[in-house]
Structure formats: C-alpha cells, structure tokens
Structure 1
C-alpha cells in the first residue's frame, strides 16, 4: 500500500469515515483501526454495558452530534458484548424498510423492548433524540427523553451517555489541554503508526514526485511544536466560534492540511473544505496589522529585507525542505506555525510578540480563578476583574449617553432634557462564587454581582450570568471606547440581557436623580419616607 493512498482514510468523503459492519479493504481497515483513540466516554459507556445482566431490563442511549464517533463506539460495543439479552440499534437515523422513517423504526424497536426481556442500546444524534421525544408513540419513553433533555435526568434502567458531556478541551489550573486531539495526532504521526511507516517507505520516491507536498506537509505535521500551534488554534475556534470538534471532522481537517495543493501553513488558513478550517481562516495571522509585520511585508515587496532573512530561508530549505515562497502572507503564516520551534537563526522569533494571544491568555486567567476559585489566591485577581473590567464596561455601555456619570450612577431613562439617574452600589459576590462551584469545564464561567444596600424580598440581590470569550472580548473593547455594530449582534444580545437584569435593580434604587443642564433633583428613600433635595 502507498502512503498517498492510505491518507484517503482520513477524508470525510472516504467510505471509512463511518464505521459499519461491512467487509472492506483489510489494509485500510487496519490503518483506520490504528487511528482509533479510546476516550473516557468509551470507558463509561462500556462500564454501563458491563452492568447489564440477563435479569436487568435497561435502555442506554449513546448520544451526540454527527461525526463524533458514535458509530465506531457502537460497533466496538456490539463486538464486545455478544450476549443474547443485549440488543443494539447502531444508528437511530436509519429505518429497516424503504417505506418507513426513523421514527417508525424506533417505535417498533421500543414495542419489541416492552414485549421482550432484553436490554436495548441505541446510537442516536441529539437532534433526532429531541425529534423522537415529540413524536414517540410510547409516552413513557417520550417522557423519559424529555426529562433528560430538559433536566439531564437519568435512572438505573434508563440512561444516557452523551458526547457533549465529554469536552474535547480542558482548561486546567495552569494551562489547557486536549487529550483527544493530542492523542489522535500521535496516532497519525508517531513513528510506530502505520501511516508513518508507509511515509518512511515511500519518502525518497514521494519527495521527487508530483505528490511531494503531501510528504512535506506530513513531515511538518509530525513536528510536536507545530502540533502545539494546531491545538492552540482549535482551542480558539472552540471558544470563539463554539465549534464542536468531532473525530470525523478533525481527521478530515488533517487530510485537508496534508493533501491540499499548497504548503500545510497555507492550507491551514485558506482551506474552506472543512467546517473547522472555515473558522480557522478567521484567525489567519497574515491579517494582523502590527509594526513588525507591516515592516516585513513592505521589505518583502521592495526586496529590501536583510541578509538575516536570506540566511533563515537557507535553514528552511535545509531543515524543512521548504523553498522560496511566493508572497509575504505565506511567510507570515509559516512564522506563525513555527513560533514555538527553533530554526536556524530564528528570524521568525522577531514576530513572537505579534503572535501573542493576550486576549486568550487574559480570558483563561480570569476563567481559572472562577472555575478553580481559591479564597486566598483568587480574590485580588477577581476583584480587579470585576471592578476595573466587568463593571466598568457594563457601566460604560449603560451610560454611553452620559459618560460623565460617576461609578455608582446609572442612566435609566431620559425625559426631554432630563436624565434619570439611579444610584447603585455593586461589586463581586465572592461568597456566592465559592458556594456555587461549577461542575463542568465548558469554556465559560459564571460571574456573581452583589447589589449592595438593597432590600427587596422579591429579588435576590445577587446577579448571576455567564461570560464566554466573545462577551469578554466585547467588554474589553467597550472599556476602550468601542461602540457595537451589527456584526456584534449575537454577543450584544447577551450583554443587553445582563443590562436589563441590572436595570431592574437600578429602577428600585434608594436614590434617583433627575438631572438637566441647569438643575438636579434628588429623591432619596429612607425607610417609608422619600426626601427631596436639590
């Protein structure tokens, strides 16, 4: 088997993209099996199946999105558990008869379950699960599914294992990691893998063939420092664009990086044949406008770069077999994917600061102090975040028509020339944060704002809401004077929800001022009396 043929196993258009029970090419099947990575979801799923006995009567749903690996895991489970009292339905989007649909097929399967004594294991897309909960003939099954979808409710005899509960990225106390992606990359690029062995066998001939870029790209991907950059990019795509990364889409991404008709670093930022890479394009480093990058681009266009760059190009040729590139954008992208690697005279390290992910690193720091809250270590960091970043940005957004207002003043209405101003003392609620420790590491964190000196039995004086990296970025830009536009629509909706909740408290403040250009009237409530002053 040739290396370039074996790469086809990675493609989403390959017949190997979805695991089935049919017989196929043994060599390619072996390579596909070699790429399989067992993850915690498999351990939990297999553990549940091991608990099924002939006396028990259970239903287990394996749920997730298209391409996340349900078919592979269901097939492995069916091969491992061959007991007659466990029945498998590998794909709940399929029907048994041409004239039936998936809903009818599931109704039939559950009818057989009710009449029989066996347990049932079903692989199903989460969307299909929702559809079936509305259309199911069996009301008991429908109610159980709805309770799970709404409240995550499970039981001993009716369980759900969901890929969404096993995030591909974990933000740790000191860094971030993706066991799924790094282990899959190792399977693809480690010297013990079948792909690598085929690469070594065909390398000398392949580098002198029309497929030479596939060999160069694969070799570049084998570099662990390049893999670090790929993982970092995928984390940004996950956080900024909420892109769900499945085994199938990731393997297809690797296929596109290696097999598209350009160098890997250009494929990474210009390919739109993969749903993940469509998002990666948004983070193309050649779009950055910094003094160092702009000087390089101008120098390249004028052919006036220093000898240092020429020496670096020689190192690229000698160490990575990368010759002269056609444009400055390609070099910027190359510098980016090599930013953790040492090459020759390290000319590319001049751009390290330009490639620094300050927004990401700042967000992750605040995220960690919320998720791994420590009263001693976290309070000073979070107090600074709440007072100087979060609350400052929200106040600036509310008071955009009255930027002169003080820290405890909020513009709540305008009547002709009068502005109605509420006085509200707000700050972080660390006791609530410490009490409500999150259970999941899901890429966003909850903030807790305490409305001080507020007495209202109908409203809890603690305001809780979630912050993701997009809202965090908008808050940062608001502090710098930015005004949102139509491109910020989705994240502004989140911000407006927060503002509206805060204004409920502001409208019930103990002090309301009516202010115009020539006078100010103050209304101050104390107990059951309202004092009016000027």
Structure 2
C-alpha cells in the first residue's frame, strides 16, 4: 500500500481532492489539536456538499450556509436520512469548535472521524466511476508514535475508548498501544457488602475489558443457557429472578393438603406453551422438595416418552392408574402439566382398553372449558389448576397493574448489594467501562419509567392478545437495554445515543420479537393529541428549547441525551424528526401527567368496564349495556327507535323489525376485592327473549370494543371489519330472532320516506297499511 492509500479517505483523491485533503489534515490534527481537527471536518463536509451541487448541476446561490444546503438536498431526496444525520453532526460540532475558544474535545473529534468516513463512502459509491478501488473497512484513528504517547493515551483515550467492546489501536510498527486501567487506578469496590460476597454473587471470571453488565443482561435472552426451562433444574440465577405468584401459592396449598394422603392423586396443571409450568415445578423441587418429591412429574407427557405412540396413547399410559378401572385402588401420585386442547381431546375420545369417565366428569364440573373463571378445582381424586385464568396483571378500578412484571424489573434494576445486575453496573464503573447499555440501565432504573414499561406490556396483552411468559418478558428487557452498537459512550454521536436508547429500542425494533412488534403499533408518535400538538407548536415557535426540555422531560439521564439539541436552528428537517420522536417517547416514559393526557381514552374505558363486569358492579354495567345497544343498532342500521333493518340497503324499499333487547347479568358473579387477580379478559354480555333460560352471549374484547366505539361515532363498517368481527356479526344474526318480524314488519320506501307496516290482525291474517 502506498503512502497515499494510508490516508483514511484516500479513495476520494480523484473525485473530491479538496475534501480528501481536509480529511487527511483532520486526522493529522486529531490528537494534537482536536478543535482544529473538527474545523477541518466541517470544511470536508462543505466540500462534499459543493461536489454534490456541482455534479447534480444545482444552481442555488441563495443557499449560503451549510444548514441550508443540507436541508435543500434532503428536501429534494438527494441525500438519505443517515447521511443527513452524519452531515448534521459534523456541522454542529464544527460550529462549536469555530465559535467556542475553550472547545478542545478529542471525543468529539473521534465521533466526527467516523461520520466523515460514512459521508466519504456514500459520496464515492454514489458519484465515482471507479469500480476498481476497494473501499477499506473503517478503522479507529491511531496516534503517531512519539515519546509522550503513553501520557496521551492515559489522559485522553482512556475516557474516550474505555476498556471494552472496541478494537485496540496499534501503531505502524505493530506495537500494541493498549488502553489499560492499572490496578492502582481502579476505584475500590463500593457499598456495604463485603467485596468477597459481591464477587461470589457476580462471578468475577471475565476477560479484561469485557463488561460485567452486558454479560449479566445477556443471560436474560432467549438464546442464553439460562433460558432453557427444565422441570428438574433450578439455577441460582433463576432463583434470584423468581417471583412468587398466586398459582404457586395455590399449588403449594394443594400439595400441603395432600401431603399425608395414602390414596392416589392426580394434579392437572392446565395451560399453554411458555406459561411457566416448567419453572414452577423446578422451583418447588428445589425449594420445597418435601411437598413434591412423592409425586411423579410429567412435564408435557405427550412428548416425554413413547416415541412410537401418539399424544393420546402416551397420555393413556401416564394416566392408567386414574382410569375408572384402577382409580379406587391406586396409590400413585402424579403431577401432569398438559395443554388444555390435549386434555379436551383425551377426555372426549373413545379409548381402547380403559375408560376415564370419572376424570371427564371432574373436568366438566371444574368449568375449565366454560365461560366461568376456574383457577383451581378439587375433588376426591383430582386437583386442577388453570394457568389461563391466572393473569400476569391485575385489574383495579383505577386501571391495571402487574405485580409480576414490576417485580421482575425490580429484580434486575434494584440498587441492592444482592443484585448481580446492579453489582455488574458498579464494577463496570470502577473499570471505566461505559456504553449505551449502562446509560439504558440507569434510565430504566427510574421507577416511573419502569411503571410505564409495564403499562405498555399490559397494553400489548389487552390490545394484541399476547401471552407473555416470564422468559419472554426477560428477553424483552434485554432487547430494550442492549443496542446493536456497544462502543464506549464517548465514541457515539448525539444521534447514535438517541437511536440506541431505551425509548427508541422499545418502539423501533419490531423485527426482534412479537412483543416489540406489538409495541411498534402503540408507539406514542402515532397518537393524535392536543398535548402532542402543543409540544410540536412550541418546538417550531420557540428557538431556545432548553426550557421545553426541562419542563417535559422528568429524568436526568435522558435529559442529558437531549442536551445537545437546544435550538431548532441546530437541526434540519430529518434530524429534527429524529430529535422530536425521541423527545416525545422520552416524555411519554418519564412525565406522568403527559402520559396520562396522551393515553388512548377507549383503552382506559375498556379496562374500567372490564373491572366492573368482573367485579359484578351493577350500576356501572348498565351504562356499558346501553353503549353496546347503540353500537348494535348503528351497525345494522335503524329507520326509527327500537327497529333494526332485516335487509341490506336498497333504493326501492327496506324491511325492518322492532327489537327489544333484554339484557341480563345473571351470569356474572360479584367480587368485592379492590384488586382482581383472577378474571375474564373480555367482557361477557348476555341477552334473552323474555325467557331468561334462552340466553345469547356476546364476548367483547378490546379490538371489538374499539371498532364498536368507531361505529357509535359514525363509522360505517366495511367487509374487512365484518370479517374481523365475525363473532359480533353472528351475534346480531342470532339476536334478530328475538325481534317481532313474525308478527310485525316495517316497510320503508327511502326515496319518498314513506313507511308501511305488515302485521297480523286479531284473527291471524296479515294486513298492509301506511303508518
């Protein structure tokens, strides 16, 4: 390689020689005079923009400033969003270096070096006809060998590069120039816990320069060894993260009650994949073996053994001691974790050798497959727990909350000497390792941010019907804390920090998991609100943004992320959008009043009604029935009060019947608890035709409720709406049988707005007369 090719943007020499020269000078000055180096970076950006204007033959003498040129090229779609951000970063830093005599920040110069590389590569690939030159991969700039190099490294690069997650620079003679923190430089291990105990909790066996916090957080991911659930194993890590749940308490109570029984006992743990059955069984085996050791445990018996048999044949082998033929003499004790669908098939199939009528009768009596809530149910031989009716969140009149998810977050974020994650953060601080992982962790330590994250998770469950297990939730936490860029914080640009922060990872990583995909649809940037509009107006009419940031953002960590953006004059349109999206998301996550003002009203109304129905509150239920009645009549169409159309719209005539909806709440049970832990996650309405035995039920979940609210406001459902709400359409067809069409039909002629009635007289004959 010749000397020319040692320049970091040598490939621009032919197509943009002045820009390449400024790039070379920028790199030469980086360690000696960072402020001058940054000015050269700005000159480089100006030459690149001049080159674009010349090649694209743009004649715009009115565009004098760098800001105006970047904005113009962005509006004309001549530069991409990422390139625009790089140019903005160079421009902003160049302004600081040019106008602030005390500015001499080598960390800023390092950031610009990488942004210049991005700009140079884009320009070369976009406008060069040279297809032979190979663009090299980006390399961190290296200081030239000199006598005081050790002092420069220790004083300047130590804070910049940290000690982990980046390539160690080397000089021309391949002599390693390592950024090492000597033992004497490291801060002592702080805190009330003894160092030996902290080391035992944390496990100090780690490579020099690696991040403890990153290692611990990666254990939360689905891909980690810790993610493998096994009913026979329960690690110390899982023990630390374990949160007691009501289903655990109920199972322990059943086991305690059956501890000394001699006759056989079958405990059915009914649920679905990933709902925590394996974790619960492993926990009990480790922590309370005296309750469970005398039971045989089949965790998904359909896959446990007998590969030559199908699921039902395998189950018959497992449950033979509880068949009608053997159950009276059986002393076997079995815990069976089973999918509800498999159990339903097993009790309803015709078995070859044995019968299971007693088991079938028990399951039917438990109401497992009915509309009723079944948490646990027991009789002489059997016990059953239904994971499906033990929710991961609770209902209150003031809104939902989740002890389970909140406790899991506390396990990870609590500043405790028993918390391996917190100890990892502290030890990384002692070693001067600081990346966006550490920034994100500190941001999520904010208690209100944690509360907002939990509320968002509950929204995905209610709105998108997700089932979020502990394992899925922990993987989600890792996804929003660990960005793709793991470099030291000082090497990240202002936009890099925003793009790798929790608020962005929370809403902008839809491809990572079903949880993040669902969250991308409830991103606050998609909402319409007068409070959001008010924020936009302030940003566009006030030049000094510092008071706005101070008033809206209620968290110091994220306020520091936004601090470089203090004026609208600093940002071009695309960069402004990045800033605004981050500001809005951060405000939503940190500002309680703003969050309450911008949350979807229909969502809160649904949850309040869900609480009232599960609590059996008659007064509040009445109002909801009236609301749904309006939706029924508006969906089908109504020519007059209490009448529903029988046919579709027609120019000639339309038929309708009188329908008197008779609601009933006999199916509801009253629950006087302020906090509901067991409940149905949808609202069940019931109507009858005058005979309370003839009921028709309507199950309303949030998607249907949201659609019906739109209908009440005047929206006309289309074909897709009818397909999505097929259960509601079928309900209307059924309830039409409760009307008076056999005795009285209203005929409407729309053009003349004339009504006739077809009805029976006292002798049963039909008569046709005008109304």
Structure 1 length normalisation: TM-score?
Answer: 0.81
The answer (yes or no) to whether the contact 2:682–2:701 under 8 Å persists in 1 is yes
After TM superposition, give the deviation of residue 298 of structure 1 in Å: 7.8
Match of 2:523 among 266, 284, 307: 284
Match of 1:20 among 230, 234, 239: 230
- Which has the larger displacement, 441-450 or 136-145? 136-145
Classify 1:524/1:107 alpha carbon distance in 2 versus 1 (closer, same or farther; 3 Å): closer
Match of 2:646 among 405, 412, 427: 412
The whole-number CA distance in structure 2 between the counterparts of 1:68 and 1:117 is 29
Matched, 1:144 2:359: yes
Number of aligned residue pairs: 502
What corresponds to 1:478 in structure 2? 711
Matched, 1:398 2:636: yes
Matched, 1:121 2:335: yes
Classify 1:285/1:186 alpha carbon distance in 2 versus 1 (closer, same or farther; 3 Å): same
What corresponds to 1:68 in structure 2? 275
What corresponds to 1:241 in structure 2? 464
Matched, 1:436 2:436: no
After TM superposition, give the deviation of residue 256 of structure 1 in Å: 1.0
Does the residue aligned with 2:644 lie in a helix, a strand or coil? strand
What corresponds to 1:7 in structure 2? 217
The answer (yes or no) to whether the contact 1:172–1:368 under 8 Å persists in 2 is yes
Does the residue aligned with 2:745 lie in a helix, a strand or coil? strand
Does the residue aligned with 1:327 lie in a helix, a strand or coil? helix
Does the residue aligned with 1:176 lie in a helix, a strand or coil? coil
- Which has the larger displacement, 149-158 or 353-362? 149-158
Classify 1:447/1:94 alpha carbon distance in 2 versus 1 (closer, same or farther; 3 Å): closer
CA RMSD of aligned residues (A): 3.6
Classify 1:357/1:199 alpha carbon distance in 2 versus 1 (closer, same or farther; 3 Å): farther
Matched, 1:533 2:769: yes
What corresponds to 1:308 in structure 2? 547
The whole-number CA distance in structure 2 between the counterparts of 1:474 and 1:112 is 50
After TM superposition, give the deviation of residue 464 of structure 1 in Å: 3.5
After TM superposition, give the deviation of residue 462 of structure 1 in Å: 5.7
After TM superposition, give the deviation of residue 164 of structure 1 in Å: 0.8
The whole-number CA distance in structure 2 between the counterparts of 1:490 and 1:108 is 43
Matched, 1:41 2:247: yes
The answer (yes or no) to whether the contact 1:285–1:336 under 8 Å persists in 2 is yes
1:467-526 per-position Cα deviation (integer Å, ceiling 9, x unaligned): 222221111101222122455355421220221122212353643122224553213446
After TM superposition, give the deviation of residue 52 of structure 1 in Å: 4.2
What corresponds to 1:344 in structure 2? none
Match of 1:356 among 596, 599, 605: 599
Does the residue aligned with 2:226 lie in a helix, a strand or coil? coil
Classify 1:99/1:302 alpha carbon distance in 2 versus 1 (closer, same or farther; 3 Å): farther
After TM superposition, give the deviation of residue 36 of structure 1 in Å: 0.4
The whole-number CA distance in structure 1 between the counterparts of 2:599 and 2:393 is 20
Match of 1:252 among 475, 478, 498: 475
The whole-number CA distance in structure 2 between the counterparts of 1:390 and 1:4 is 50
What corresponds to 2:697 in structure 1? 464
What corresponds to 1:184 in structure 2? 408
After TM superposition, give the deviation of residue 285 of structure 1 in Å: 0.9
The whole-number CA distance in structure 2 between the counterparts of 1:138 and 1:167 is 38
Does the residue aligned with 2:262 lie in a helix, a strand or coil? coil
Residues 316-395 of structure 1 mapped to structure 2, 5 A cutoff: 321-323=560-562, 324=564, 326-340=578-592, 351-352=594-595, 355-375=598-618, 378=619, 381-387=620-626, 389-395=627-633
Matched, 1:58 2:265: yes
What corresponds to 1:269 in structure 2? 507
Does the residue aligned with 2:247 lie in a helix, a strand or coil? helix
What corresponds to 1:343 in structure 2? none
After TM superposition, give the deviation of residue 533 of structure 1 in Å: 2.4
Classify 1:312/1:369 alpha carbon distance in 2 versus 1 (closer, same or farther; 3 Å): closer
What corresponds to 1:447 in structure 2? 685
Residues 150-169 of structure 1 mapped to structure 2, 5 A cutoff: 150=369, 155-169=379-393
What corresponds to 2:423 in structure 1? 198
Match of 1:173 among 397, 407, 416: 397
Does the residue aligned with 2:679 lie in a helix, a strand or coil? coil
What corresponds to 1:503 in structure 2? 736
The whole-number CA distance in structure 2 between the counterparts of 1:279 and 1:319 is 24
Classify 1:490/1:58 alpha carbon distance in 2 versus 1 (closer, same or farther; 3 Å): farther
After TM superposition, give the deviation of residue 130 of structure 1 in Å: 4.8
Unaligned runs of 5+ in 2: 1-202, 204-211, 485-499, 566-577, 672-677
The whole-number CA distance in structure 1 between the counterparts of 2:539 and 2:226 is 44
The whole-number CA distance in structure 2 between the counterparts of 1:314 and 1:207 is 27
Residues 75-86 of structure 1 mapped to structure 2, 5 A cutoff: 75-79=282-286, 80-81=288-289, 85-86=294-295
Does the residue aligned with 1:37 lie in a helix, a strand or coil? coil
1:161-218 per-position Cα deviation (integer Å, ceiling 9, x unaligned): 2211211122123432222222222222223342344244225257744xx2222222
After TM superposition, give the deviation of residue 288 of structure 1 in Å: 2.1
The answer (yes or no) to whether the contact 1:510–1:526 under 8 Å persists in 2 is no
1:218-259 per-position Cα deviation (integer Å, ceiling 9, x unaligned): 222222211221222122211111111211111111111111
The answer (yes or no) to whether the contact 1:249–1:275 under 8 Å persists in 2 is no
